[in-house]
Amino acid sequence: MSRERVSPQYGDGTRVVAAGQPPAVAGEPFRPGPVFAAPYHLGPDTRFYARNENPTWSAFEQALGALEGGPAVVFPSGMAAASAVLQSVLRPGDRVVVPSDGYYQVRGVLAEELPWYEVVTVPTAEVAGWAGEGGLAGATLVLVETPSNPGLDVCDLAAVTAAAQAAGCLVAVDNTMATPLGQRPLDFGVDFSLASDTKALTGHSDLVLGHVACRDAERAARLLAWRTRTGVVPGPFEVWLAHRSLGTLDLRLHRQATNARALAEALSGHPAIGGLRYPWLAEDPAHDLATAQMLRPSGVVVFDLADEAAVDAFLAASRLALAATSFGGLHTTVDRRARWGDAVAPGFVRVSCGVEDTADLVADFVAAADSLGSRP
């Protein structure tokens, strides 16, 4: 099945297996190995130097473009992807709007490395209403993250995009938690869909990567030029690993979401746990918007334990939870987010559900929670 034959009408499982596949050639592998080269033999085509182009990147970018619905550019990390959008769009003095409750490093890079922009921060749950009341007047770019990391609030993309277009403002969406199988921001008229592919998209906790998909080819070309000039390029082996991992994305997301829902239902109301959020529970404040806007649920649940000591005790009592940051991998991880500077309670944890057997995972977490007793 060639790249050109990957129909958007196929199901998710078929699309992630087929996306970016070369035409079948007898005696050749399903997918060529990574291309390691700096210069190339000069000839009639445009490929001449590895900072400009690599066939391993191109195959993965074609796969991402097929899933996102617009041309994609791969970067060596999610932060590199976010930085590329910011720096390729903004000029000194421009106003940029970012979530006050999103990934903290985005605010950090703007404050410490790019201080010549005017930065406005707005909570994810409030940005749509704020934008609709004229908040984007004078802004060049609004970056939203939905669901937000780590709080799992959801932003109304249709409302933000409509307000941004009326104000002449570009829109970028951090789609890391959802992946293009869970949400397609470009379908809402968003200009940039970016992600840390380190997380759920590749899902094996063995590489660092990111990408940006664009609504139009001109903006993608600008990102390509920025990548080439700055030299912020990924390694071919990491990109090959990412493409290799993409084929199981549908399967992984399904099991992770199944586990997340089961955990959320089992732990909701537990006396040791407070503040549980999972937008696909009917009682969650983001439920209606998440189920209307997103294509499938995610594998992340958040909740509060009493304090840092309670988190340590929970992890000690669990046999399956691993203490680790990042999310979206095969293993279930627990991350106490206050250690990284997020504005959350000391016992706030983000649980990234892996692909373990659902019954085993639920039993393990309930037992660990039971060992804590009740919250003081």
Given a cut of 70, whether residue 290 has pLDDT beyond it is yes
What whole-number distance in Å separates Cα of residue 160 and Cα of residue 150?
21
Are 185 and 277 found together in one domain? no
DSSP state, residue 39 = B
The pLDDT value recorded for residue 4 is: 47
| Mean pLDDT (whole number) for 345-356 | 98
Q: What percent of the chain has pLDDT over 90?
A: 89
Q: In degrees rounded to 5, what are phi and psi of residue 151?
A: -75, -15
Are 154 and 207 found together in one domain? yes
Instruction: Give the end of a domain, one of 178, 212, 246.
Output: 246
DSSP state, residue 250 = H
| Mean pLDDT (whole number) for 269-289 | 97
Are 195 and 294 found together in one domain? no
What whole-number distance in Å separates Cα of residue 266 and Cα of residue 310?
19
The pLDDT value recorded for residue 349 is: 98
- Classify residue 375: in a domain, yes or no: no
Given a cut of 80, whether residue 7 has pLDDT beyond it is no
Instruction: Give the end of a domain, one of 246, 261, 295.
Output: 246
pTM score of the predicted model: 0.94
The pLDDT value recorded for residue 375 is: 82
Are 199 and 234 found together in one domain? yes
User: Quick count: other Cβ atoms within 10 Å of Cβ 4?
Assistant: 9
Q: How confident is the model at residue 6 (pLDDT cuts 50, 70, 90)?
A: low
| Mean pLDDT (whole number) for 16-23 | 91
What whole-number distance in Å separates Cα of residue 272 and Cα of residue 199?
29
Q: Which spans in the chain are helix H? A: 12-18, 55-68, 78-89, 104-112, 124-130, 157-167, 179-182, 217-230, 236-246, 249-267, 287-293, 308-317, 358-370
Indicate the Cα dihedral angle 139, 199, 19, 24, nearest 10°.
Answer: 140
Instruction: Give the end of a domain, one of 228, 246, 264.
Output: 246
- Contact (Cβ atoms closer than 8 angstroms) between residue 166 and residue 132: no
| Mean pLDDT (whole number) for 279-288 | 98
The pLDDT value recorded for residue 47 is: 77
Average pLDDT, the chain: 95
Q: What is the pLDDT of residues 218-243, one digit of tens each?
A: 999 999 999 999 999 999 999 999 99
Q: What is the pLDDT of residues 74-121, one digit of tens each?
A: 999 999 999 999 999 999 999 999 999 999 999 999 999 999 999 999
The pLDDT value recorded for residue 40 is: 85
- Contact (Cβ atoms closer than 8 angstroms) between residue 132 and residue 271: no
What whole-number distance in Å separates Cα of residue 10 and Cα of residue 189?
22
- The domain total for the chain is 2
Range of the domain at 265: 249-370
The two three-digit tokens of residue 291, written as one number: 């189920």
| Mean pLDDT (whole number) for 127-154 | 98
The pLDDT value recorded for residue 5 is: 54
**Which residues are known catalytic residues?**
51, 103, 174, 199
- Classify residue 376: in a domain, yes or no: no
The two three-digit tokens of residue 254, written as one number: 């399904």
DSSP state, residue 314 = H
